[in-house]
Structures are given as C-alpha cells and as structure tokens.
C-alpha cells in the first residue's frame, strides 16, 4: 500500500490592492511512500482560478487542506498515483542497470 502526501514549496501570487496577495499558481510535490519506505514523487505547478472576493482567504491564513481543495479537482490524481507506484516498483525491481565493460573490473 502506498501513502501519498502533498507538499507546497512555493506559491505564485498577484499583488492586488483590494485582496492583498492572490495565489495564481501552486508549486507542488506529490510523494508516495510504500510499506517498505520506498518513495516515488512528482512535482510541478498548477494554475488556480480567480478567487471569489466574498470568500477570499488572506494569504497568511491559507491552509494546506484548502490548497489541496483548489488543485485536486483539476488534476488527474489517479494517473499521478499510478506513475508514483510505477516509480516505486521500478526502484524495488529495476529493469535497467549500468554495468562496466566485460573486460573491466569496475565501472
């Protein structure tokens, strides 16, 4: 079983006189860890839509769960999880290796 976690190292913000700092894009890292501690990850950025001025959350008060709620509906989470699981499986069961030339003793 793989456990997934979001991390958000940075946000692109538009400086707005009325709403202060408006998030326009979220930079993300999505990590999966299996029961053996083997990890896989993906990273990228996701644009977010214009905020509702009546339900605007000031930048310092934005929560991780809120950001997840912004980006998950517009991302293909199932495909991302499959990609991460494939990475984990390839780490545990590699199909490619680098070897020295047969006449050499070390790489």
- With vertex at residue 101, the alpha carbon angle to CA 97 and CA 106, rounded to the nearest 5 degrees, is 80
Confidence of residue 53 (pLDDT cuts 50, 70, 90): confident
Structure tokens given for 13: 């913000």
Dist. CA 19–CA 8, nearest whole Å: 21
Three-class DSSP category at 45: strand
Over residues 61-83, the mean pLDDT reads 97
Dist. CA 62–CA 67, nearest whole Å: 7
Q: Would the pLDDT of 7 be above 90?
A: yes
Q: Would the pLDDT of 97 be above 90?
A: no
Confidence of residue 52 (pLDDT cuts 50, 70, 90): confident
- Nearby residues of 80 by Cβ (< 8 Å), 6 or more positions away: 30, 42
Residue with the two structure tokens 């509702």? 52
Ordered by start, the domain boundaries in the chain are: 2-92
Q: Would the pLDDT of 92 be above 70?
A: yes
Over residues 76-90, the mean pLDDT reads 98
């Amino acid at each position: 079983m793989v456990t997934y976690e979001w991390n958000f190292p940075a946000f692109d913000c538009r400086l707005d006189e009325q709403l202060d700092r408006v998030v326009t894009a979220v930079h993300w890292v999505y990590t999966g860890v299996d029961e053996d501690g083997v990890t896989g990850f993906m990273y990228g950025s996701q644009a977010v839509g214009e905020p509702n001025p009546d339900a605007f959350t000031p930048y310092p008060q934005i929560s991780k769960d809120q950001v997840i709620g912004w980006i998950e509906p517009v991302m293909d989470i199932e495909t991302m999880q499959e990609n991460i699981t494939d990475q984990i499986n390839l780490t545990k069961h590699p199909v490619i290796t680098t070897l020295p030339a047969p006449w050499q003793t070390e790489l």
